[in-house]
Amino acid sequence: MAEKEGEKSVIKNNVSFVGLDELTPGQQEKVKQIIYEHFVELEREIKHIRGLKVTFKAHNKKEGNPRKKYSVTLFLDTLTKPITVNHIYREAQWDPVTCTHLAIDKAREEIMHKFKTNTDYRKPYQKGVL
pLDDT for the residue numbered 62:
72
pLDDT for the residue numbered 1:
46
pLDDT for the residue numbered 6:
52
pLDDT for the residue numbered 126:
57
Topology of domain 29-115 in CATH is Double Stranded RNA Binding Domain (3.30.160)
For residue 44, CA distances in Å to 40, 50, 98 come to: 6, 13, 23
- State phi, psi for 26 to the nearest 5 degrees: -65, -45
Q: Quote the radius of gyration of the chain (alpha carbons, Å).
A: 17
Q: Do residues 75 and 84 make contact, with C-beta atoms less than 8 angstroms apart?
A: yes
Residue-by-residue DSSP string for 70-84: EEEEEEEEESS--EE
pLDDT for the residue numbered 12:
66
Q: Do residues 52 and 18 make contact, with C-beta atoms less than 8 angstroms apart?
A: no
Global confidence as pTM: 0.74
Q: How many residues are listed for the chain in this entry?
A: 130
pLDDT for the residue numbered 87:
60
Return d(Cα 7, Cα 83) in angstroms, integer. 22
How many Cβ atoms from other residues are within 10 Å of residue 29's Cβ? 11
pLDDT for the residue numbered 75:
93
Task: pLDDT tens for the chain, 130 residues: list them.
Answer: 445 555 555 556 789 999 999 889 999 999 999 999 898 888 888 878 889 999 988 887 677 777 788 888 999 998 888 888 886 555 567 888 888 888 898 888 888 888 777 766 555 665 555 5
User: By CB neighbour count within 10 A (0-12 exposed, 13-18 middle, 19+ buried), where does 47 fall?
Assistant: exposed
